[in-house]
Chains A and B, each alone.
Chain A
Amino acid sequence: MELKGRVWKFGKDVDTDELFAGRFIMGGDETNQSQYQEFIARSGLSDVGHRENVPRDFLTKVEKGDIIVAEENFGIGSSRQQAAETLKFKGVQAVVADSIHRIFFRNFWNLGCPAIDLPGISAEFETGHEIVINLRQGTIKNLNTGKEFEFRLIIPSWFIDMVEAGGLIPYHKSLKA
């Protein structure tokens, strides 16, 4: 499974309050998928102009298929799955970081979006670079510098099947058949 996209470079310690503020947690109608997705996409990273670890033009210029490359400790904080959902619904298809907090790591994968932790990887990318991730081979390539990196994920054996099924919920539904 290969993912290709344009890089957004984030800094360190991007926390879940930053990704999705408390004031929006009870918003959105979770029983209405399209309304919910639109609400979650719109509400995330609401205070981005005040943060140093997220590029200022991310909200206005992010496009479907983009990939975040971040420094250490991405997604620190709360269980709120909206922190992962808002990135997915804004179009981000994967997050690569020097390290990733456990709950965010699980939440993002469960949405069918890979979260890949590889120490030192952030130094190899800048915003605007093209990145290619091969999930089954465990490689990340920077198409601008030509450099390739290997990663080894500590995940259940069924995880990549789950991503191909579109996430944890669709995967579990497919198990029934």
Chain B
Amino acid sequence: MTLVEKILAKKAGKKVVRPDEIVEVSVDRAMIHDALGAHTIAKFRELGVEKVWDPARIVVVLDHYVPNKDIDTAKKCLNIKKFVIEQGIENYYEVGKGGIAHQVLVEKGHVLPGTTLVGVDSHTTTSGVVGAFATGIGVDEMAVVFKTGRLWERVPGTIRINVEGKLLSPIMSKDLMLFILKRLGVSGALFKSLQYTGSTISQMSFESRMVLTNMAIESGATNGIIEPDQKVVDFLKARTDHSFELIQGDRDAEYAETLEFHADDIKEPMVAVPPKPSNAVGVTEVEGTRIDQAFIGSCTNGRLEDLKIAARILKGRKVDKFTKVIVIPASQEVFKSALAEGLIATFVEAGAVVGPPTCGPCMEAHMGILGPGEVCISTANRNFQGRVGDVTAKIYLASPATVAASALKGKISDPREFFREA
């Protein structure tokens, strides 16, 4: 069995599971956030149950609409806070204490290898980076999980994404992921799991790997996963006292498909042109496209290494006069590290605005909303029509390096000129 099949078999209490079999698994972690938390709670109340199955397994993070932008969002967050107190849920992250849910779940050691996580958010797949089965569900199902601690799942066959070779800076894992999506398309992995393997992945930093599991959902996949190695152990050791088991796939595991990639094939930084994450082209093809906004942040690319590479490009320079440049660390922890390393000062000096650790303008939530015809280059994960505001706005997806370079010129720009030897 593949890694994901082994986790689901274990959690279903079965020796063997096969792709497309329906299983019922126990849930190790369940996450709600402010965007759908109040709805989940209303559904839970409708079930007529007094207490959640296990408050210690629930994680609540406020990240989409905080600090609250209006009375509606404030009311929903209040409902969530009341529920958290009433149910005795310890793992509650108010704005200023956590950050983006997917980052917080991993950073606080809430997700362990070989476990199951569900969240009311499609990018819950991010946590697959530790070798867990992590996926998104809707609020009715989450209400039932809160009652029973169980979830049905269609066992996804595994598509193996094998990547060999070395990515040459400033080409990042985001460029790799856009390159993968170009081949896979936005529906290439429906009801399948994406498992990333190969030398590129094992050499890659833990943070870079999170981009791959985060954007697995963009191919339609149920989840994204990477076999846990020493990097995962080192990351988690400092963050949790819980013991965990490093489950690996069997050597003779059967994959639904294996797609081979080579890092050398990515000749230049990639940009996904609207309106699909799979519309990847080389940056030189869209170079010079005027932009109104540049966003560095999100659960995809708001981590320390992302801010570092952006700061390297922005340091001592000024962003374009007519471009709104928004930088948002993915969590309070990332924010603190960025402060300590002087990155925040670099952004502010360059003329960027630094926002509080939240989802920011990854979607049409509480800030950075786009008006008619505006063009944004973003490190986030989706560029659907109307995703971040007006339906006529256009969103290009790229790496933090490409977005930073573009921010300086007010047009889509190739970051490589900032990395040439002097």
Interface residue ranges, A against B (CB under 8 Å): 13, 15, 17-18, 21-23, 25-27, 30-31, 47, 50-51, 72-73, 76-81, 84, 99-103, 106-107, 110-111, 154-157, 167-169, 172-173, 176
Contact = CB atoms under 8 A, between A and B. Distances in A.
A50 B406 CA distance: 28
A76 B220 contact: yes
Contacts of A173: 46-48
Interface of B: 20, 22, 24, 34-36, 38-39, 42-43, 46-48, 64-65, 70, 72-73, 76, 79, 119-122, 124, 136-141, 143-144, 147, 152, 154, 186-187, 190-191, 220, 222, 276, 363-365, 369, 382, 384-389, 391-392
The prevalent SS among residues of A at the interface is loop
Nearest to A73: B187
B187 A76 contact: yes
Given A77-B382, A169-B46, A47 B391 contact: yes
A84 B138 contact: yes
Given A77-B384, A99-B190, A154 B65 contact: no
B127 to A, nearest CB: 14
Contacts, number: 134
A12 B46 CA distance: 35
26 contacts: A13-B186, A13-B276, A17-B364, A17-B382, A17-B385, A18-B386, A21-B364, A22-B365, A25-B36, A30-B38, A50-B391, A78-B121, A79-B119, A79-B120, A80-B35, A81-B139, A81-B140, A84-B138, A101-B187, A106-B137, A154-B191, A156-B22, A156-B152, A167-B140, A169-B46, A169-B140
Contacts of A157: 22
Given A21-B386, A76-B186, A79-B122, A111 B140 contact: yes
Contacts of B79: 31
A26 B364 CA distance: 11
A154 B20 contact: yes
A110 B387 CA distance: 25
A31 B79 CA distance: 10
Given A47-B385, A47-B386, A155 B22 contact: yes
A149 B386 CA distance: 36
Given A99-B190, A168-B140, 9 more contacts: A22-B388, A30-B39, A79-B124, A80-B36, A81-B39, A102-B190, A102-B222, A103-B137, A169-B43
A159 to B, nearest CB: 9
B220 A81 contact: no
A40 B79 CA distance: 20
A22 B187 contact: no
A57 B68 CA distance: 36
Contacts of B388: 22
A31 B64 CA distance: 20
A79 B22 contact: no
A17 B386 contact: yes
Contact of A73 (B42, B143, B144, B186): B186
